[in-house]
Amino acid sequence: MSTPRPLIAGNWKMNGLAAALDEARAVAAALEERPAGARVAVCPPATLIDRLAEAVAGSAVLVGGQDCRAEAAGAFTGDVAAEMLAEAGARLVILGHSERRAGYGETDAVVAAKVEGALRAGLEPIICVGETLAERQAGRALEVVTAQVRGSAPAALAGRDFAIAYEPVWAIGSGLTPSIEQIEEVHVAVRAVLVEMFGATGAASPILYGGSVKPTNAAEILSAREVGGALVGGASLKAADFLPIIVAA
Ligand code: 13P
């Protein structure tokens, strides 16, 4: 089986007013000039998805959401359905980010239902998993992460495009990163679970690393075993930081 192209996705989190569209335009223009080996996605706040999709239309930049509700419609004040993201121009959606698991009590079962919603709408889910510092220090990182993969990845993913993002909670926004050995250990374990669960699909789905990815550490992280891309937070907000990470893939 051929190795799929790596995926470099930027998660803007709750950052970005209209002026931020210029950063996405700059990424799109740079990729036009110098096409990347990686697939590239930008996941802005929901309010910017349609304008960002318009701003990068015809370029290599894909647009993603940061969350969705499992249901297609209904009385769920404040929530957004996968169908709405897709209609606004999203092709992917981040699900189960640790900030949502921790801040909104999203369980693996909730995340799995959202993944099914994303697939129903034709979106490619990026399913986030990762251990806390306490879990790592207790020697439970592999157990926690593989259990999250099993619980958050529904059977419906077989034959579909999706990615897993391993984001150690303690590495997010902290400037700390695991050692390459620690990253590889988790990614290899996740790969084994994916193959067991989904066969050929599980062998081909990219496993992204996320957590304090920067221009200075991207090349080393992206060349690690079973690392098929990156989910980038802070460093995705400026084209000048995001582009070198894209080029490193
Ligand atoms: P940082 O790159 O800012 O550490 O954030 C990582 C992340 O949470 C991406 O989803």
Count: domains in the chain: 1
Is 98 part of a structural domain of the chain? yes
**Global confidence as pTM:** 0.98
In whole angstroms, give the CA distance from residue 47 to residue 80: 11
Confidence of residue 2 (pLDDT cuts 50, 70, 90): low
Q: For 22-72, write each residue's pLDDT tens digit.
A: 999 999 999 999 999 999 999 999 999 999 999 999 999 999 999 999 999
Is 48 part of a structural domain of the chain? yes
Ligand 1 contacts (CB < 6 A) are 11, 97, 167, 172-173, 210-213, 231-235
In 66-149, at which residue ranges do the beta strands (DSSP E only) sit?
A: 92-95, 124-129
In whole angstroms, give the CA distance from residue 46 to residue 64: 9
Is 115 part of a structural domain of the chain? yes
Average pLDDT over residues 70-96: 98
Is 90 part of a structural domain of the chain? yes
- 187 flagged as catalytic: no
If one counts every other C-beta atom within 10 angstroms of the C-beta of residue 54, the result is: 12
Is 73 part of a structural domain of the chain? no
Residue of 92, 164, 212, 221 best suited for mutating to test ligand 1, as the one with most atoms within 8 Å of CB: 212
Average pLDDT over residues 122-151: 98
Is 191 part of a structural domain of the chain? no
* Domain coverage including residue 151: 7-14+22-30+37-68+79-176+197-219+228-234
Spacing, Cα 233 to ligand 1 middle (Å): 3
If one counts every other C-beta atom within 10 angstroms of the C-beta of residue 217, the result is: 16
Is 50 part of a structural domain of the chain? yes
Torsion, CA 127, CA 130, CA 211, CA 79, rounded to 10: 50
CATH code assigned at 212: 3.20.20.70
Residue of 129, 231, 238 best suited for mutating to test ligand 1, as the one with most atoms within 8 Å of CB: 231
Q: Comparing C-alpha atoms, which of 175, 206, 231 is closest to residue 12?
A: 231
Is 2 part of a structural domain of the chain? no
- Give me the catalytic one of 23, 83, 106, 167: 167
Q: For 142-201, write each residue's pLDDT tens digit.
A: 999 999 999 999 999 999 999 999 999 999 999 999 999 999 999 999 999 999 999 999
Ligand 1, atom 9: closest residue by C-alpha: 233
Percent of the residues in the chain that have a pLDDT greater than 70, as a whole number: 99
Structure tokens at 243: 């582009």
Q: Are 67 and 94 in contact (CB under 8 A)?
A: yes
Phi, psi of 65 (to 5 degrees): -95, 175
